[in-house]
Structure 1
Amino acid sequence: MKKHNYSAGPCILPQEVFEKSAQAILNFNDSGLSLLEISHRSKDFVAVMEEARALVLELLGLEGKGYQALFLSGGASLEFLMVPYNLMKVNGKAAYLDTGTWASGAIKEAKHFGETLVVASSKPENYNFIPKEYSIPIDADYFHCTSNNTIFGTQMQSFPKTTIPLVCDMSSDIFSRVLDFSQFDLIYAGAQKNMGPAGTTLVVIKEEILGKTGRTIPNMLDYQQHIAKESMYNTPPVFPVYASLLTLQWLKNLGGIAAIEKINNQKAALLYNEIDSNPLFEGTAAKEDRSKMNATFVLKDESHQEQFDKMWKEAGISGLTGHRSVGGYRASMYNALPLESVQVLVDVMQELKNRVQ
């Protein structure tokens, strides 16, 4: 039976990425050696890293605009620390928008470096919406936001205009929709949603914002060091970088971000239409802030839970259970999830309605 993977991450990737990366583990570039055993300084892998970094900037429309792309280790959680280390001045301050668990984690780390202002928060309402009315202090060293909130199913539909550097955690929706990415000065994203397997983190930086903190930064946490060493300051996570390159190639061949956005819009519309029209279900996020990556919803009558759970599992659906802090269900519809899989879920929801009524 075909599986329909709604896992929030690590998550579904294109089938061709699995096939090509599996072959590379056995025999990389017809070298007779595994990707897992070749030197990261070898000609073959240096070419992988160079192409991956270049393809990131190409897909985001940032070529020749003063940006560098890095593939680092430590997950997006390490970037919570690296961002203030590299951008917050000694005795400086930063501004943050609190829209969920990961945003609050970033705020916690920033407080180790200086004054950290939370300009707005949706925490009192269990993060079920994106705050809109807030002001950003122009004397802050940067403003940080999280574009998509996997746990709570909310997504920023627009971004504030500001004269200070704009930093965005795009871990769960990068490469999923067309944006003017040049409005951001620093973007970071864990690979394991739309780009590759867990183990590497993409960081895209406008170089001109670096080197202004007045602090000494340990080499491993210094973006400038990683740029100078072309993302190879230390041994990179070879396999996750290669699998990310394959996913970026898949996306380019599909037609790039504009092409995948159309598919993502279709998937989200199909599922949200069912959530809104089916009397057994309701969404948990404010409609104007609904995420096209992570749809969160609940059964209005929990007495149907056992039956519904049995039905979607029998249909080959996996990873639909919601996060414990929200409950209910979470359908993660990342780039590689086909429209067909969303239709399977919608069919199950409709069948439940037919059985109950």
Structure 2
Amino acid sequence: MRSFNFSAGPAMLPEAVMKRAQDEFLDWNNTTMSVMEMSHRSAEYLSVAHQMEADLRDVMNIPENYKVLFLHGGASLQFAGIPMNLTQAGDTVDYFDTGVWSAKAIKEAKRYVNVNIVAGGGQNPTEIPDSSEWKFSEDAKYIHICSNETITGVEFKEAQLEQVFAQGKPVIADMSSNILCREIDVSKYGMIYAGAQKNIGPAGLAIVIVREDLIGHARSDCPNLMNWKTYADNESMFNTPNTWAWYLAGLVFDWIKTSGGVKAIAEINQRKAQKLYDYIDNSGYYSNSIKVEQRSWMNVTFNLPNEDLNADFLAQTKAVGLLSLKGHKAFGGMRASIYNAMPEAGVDALIDFMQKFAQSNPV
């Protein structure tokens, strides 16, 4: 029996995907080759790539006037790629500073443009400030958000997103840790980007979904491999892609389709998150510090009543197959990442363990 892996990334993959990859590992589609061994320009591999993109477009309902790019460098490379593709020297851009990943994006953008902080700041904020505190720039070329802060578990919700969209600027969203967890209207965004290693597939792949009119404006000194037009003009194959990661991502997209699509997955995700938060809030033992209205569906952070209990909690969870629950060093405590591939049974098992641990370790 496989363990339940609550890692924030690289994260667990759906078991059905792992078994299919295992079955096809040595001989994909009767080619007598592994998909890892094929030329990325062969007809066989192009069929994999084209189907992968078609399935992603299907499950996310991506409009035709958006390009889907499959890139190297993880989401972090886009921290520089975004200003290099969308701005010129001296331009101003707007960023929300809602956590560690927002701060990293801001630090990189400041190398190229003037960055206005719309709201937020400080170390590990536990909420997104009220919109009455937001300060947008009139001349901003775009507005950047991290829609879900993986480390703390703070997530933009619909009401706040609508106020961001209302500014009429291209909205750029880092969705690395909540892409595909619920339905979204892609047409409201200028560009969406995400690292694959949480809800899509293995590490080593980043996905960019970008409106076509935002492509082709890169700075003259933008390297070819950071220029979105390079990938758009070459089916993301200007150089050799991470073929194995593309293949596995394609299997995940197919799994989402056969599981009822993002809508069905979202219903499960909401149940998983709600039951875990409900237990934490009503336990009288564990606590969550994130503003209730902004709690993440994907990354549930919590604290024990005494930090001295942390090591014992982690040792015992590992012993029963509940893995990778240690919180990020920047935030401490515990973190249960319950991405799409985490079955509801995993959350039930975690809650059962937490109940027994609390009974055995009263404070």
Q: Structure 1 length as normaliser, TM-score?
A: 0.95
Alignment of structure 1 residues 150-299 onto 2, 5 Å: 150-158=150-158, 159=161, 160-161=164-165, 162-212=167-217, 215-299=220-304
Distance 1:5 1:115 in 2: 41
CA positional deviation for 1:196: 0.4
CA positional deviation for 1:25: 2.9
Partners of 1:315 and 1:344 within 8 A in 2: no
Q: Deviations over 1:131-187 (max 9, x none)?
A: 232132231111111011111111111311221111000000000012222111100
The residue number in structure 1 matching 2:32 is 32
Partners of 1:294 and 1:330 within 8 A in 2: yes
CA positional deviation for 1:355: 2.4
Which residue identity does 1:285 align to in structure 2? I
CA positional deviation for 1:23: 3.2
Distance 1:33 1:307 in 2: 46
CA positional deviation for 1:212: 3.6
Which residue identity does 2:274 align to in structure 1? A
CA positional deviation for 1:341: 0.5
Out of 297-306 and 247-256, give the one that drifted further: 297-306
Work out the percentage of aligned pairs sharing the same amino acid. 38
Q: Deviations over 1:186-218 (max 9, x none)?
A: 000000000000011010000112234564432
The residue number in structure 1 matching 2:15 is 15
Partners of 2:94 and 2:115 within 8 A in 1: yes
C-alpha RMSD over aligned residues? 1.5
Partners of 1:89 and 1:141 within 8 A in 2: no
Partners of 2:216 and 2:228 within 8 A in 1: no
CA positional deviation for 1:34: 1.6
CA positional deviation for 1:309: 2.8
Distance 1:77 1:11 in 2: 17
Of 344, 348, 351, the match for 1:343: 348
Q: Deviations over 1:239-294 (max 9, x none)?
A: 00000000000001111111100000010011101110111110122212111100
Q: Deviations over 1:12-42 (max 9, x none)?
A: 1111211222333311221111212110000
Q: Are positions 1:131 and 2:138 aligned together?
A: no
The residue number in structure 1 matching 2:61 is 61
Secondary structure of residue in 2 paired with 1:204: strand
Distance 2:248 2:146 in 1: 25
Number of equivalences: 355
The residue number in structure 1 matching 2:106 is 107
Partners of 1:153 and 1:291 within 8 A in 2: yes
Distance 2:326 2:229 in 1: 41
Structure 1 alignment gaps of length 5 or more:
none
Which residue identity does 2:204 align to in structure 1? G
Which residue identity does 1:83 align to in structure 2? I
Distance 1:213 1:38 in 2: 32
The 3 A distance-change label for structure 1 pair 192 and 306 is closer
Q: Deviations over 1:69-103 (max 9, x none)?
A: 01110100111111111001332121111111111
